[in-house]
Amino acid sequence: MSHKTPKTIDAEKGKNAIVCRNRKASHEYEILQDIECGLMLHGSEVKSIRNGKVSIDEAFARIRNGELWLVGCHIAEYPQANVQNHEPLRTRKLLLHKRELAKFVEKASERGHTLIPMDVHFTEGKVKIKLAIARGRKLHDKREKLKTDDVNREIRQALRRGK
């Protein structure tokens, strides 16, 4: 009888390992600028992220009282934490230097811009999140992007075949 262990990210091997990626973001939004932020987490949340139990598909960031907050990020409860477990959908504080935050907030506060998480990853054993300033795409923009992506893919394939 074999026991299956959950897929975990080793602290040493996966120093810069991506845990979760928001794949819809590049299709739904035009990415203008991005920045790497730290996350203020509980211990059980870090363990759960190491197991890959995190989702940022519905998440976004908000600026409140001069601080950056991540809203809607789902980090599943860690089964072994029992009593000291965390709330899966709680609002989490994002960590940035004040200078970086001031520059980032200025651009993000423009009309039509939103802050969306692109991925959650480990950098030197710490959980980081890549946050982007983005502008929503209209339906015709999405179609145009798909067409240009297809054309570029065909060109790359033709060049590969020709060599």
Is 122 inside a domain boundary? yes
Is the pLDDT assigned to residue 92 strictly greater than 70?
yes
Is the pLDDT assigned to residue 61 strictly greater than 80?
yes
Is the pLDDT assigned to residue 10 strictly greater than 70?
no
Token pair for residue 99?
A: 């200078």
Distances (CA, A) of 145 to 49, 68, 112, 134: 32, 31, 19, 15
| Among the ranges given (2-16, 49-63, 122-136), the one the predictor scored with the smallest mean pLDDT | 2-16
Is 110 inside a domain boundary? yes
Is 105 inside a domain boundary? yes
The half-sphere exposure of 155 on its side-chain side, counting CA atoms within 13 A, is 6
Other beta carbons less than 10 A from residue 8's beta carbon: 12
Q: How many domains are there within the chain?
A: 1
The CATH number for 56's domain is 2.40.280.10
Q: Is the entire prediction scored with pTM above 0.75?
A: no
Angle at 83 between CA 82 and CA 87, to 5 degrees: 85
Residue 3: per-residue pLDDT: 40
Q: 33-45, pLDDT tens digit by residue?
A: 888 888 888 878 8
Is 155 inside a domain boundary? no
Listing DSSP states for 69-123 in one string gives EEES-EEPPPGGGGGG---TT--EEEE--HHHHHHHHHHHTSTTEEEEEEEEEEE
| Separation between Cα atoms, residue 76 and residue 154, nearest integer Å | 40
Domain carrying residue 67: 18-137
| Among the ranges given (56-60, 66-70, 101-105, 157-161), the one the predictor scored with the smallest mean pLDDT | 101-105
Which element (helix H / strand E) includes 141?
helix 139-162
Residue 9: per-residue pLDDT: 56
Is 73 inside a domain boundary? yes
Residue 22: per-residue pLDDT: 85
First to last CA, the chain: 51
Indicate the pLDDT class of residue 13, thresholds 50, 70 and 90: low
Q: 112-159, pLDDT tens digit by residue?
A: 788 889 888 888 888 889 988 888 777 777 788 888 888 999 999 988
Helix (H, G, I), strand (E, B) or coil at 28: helix
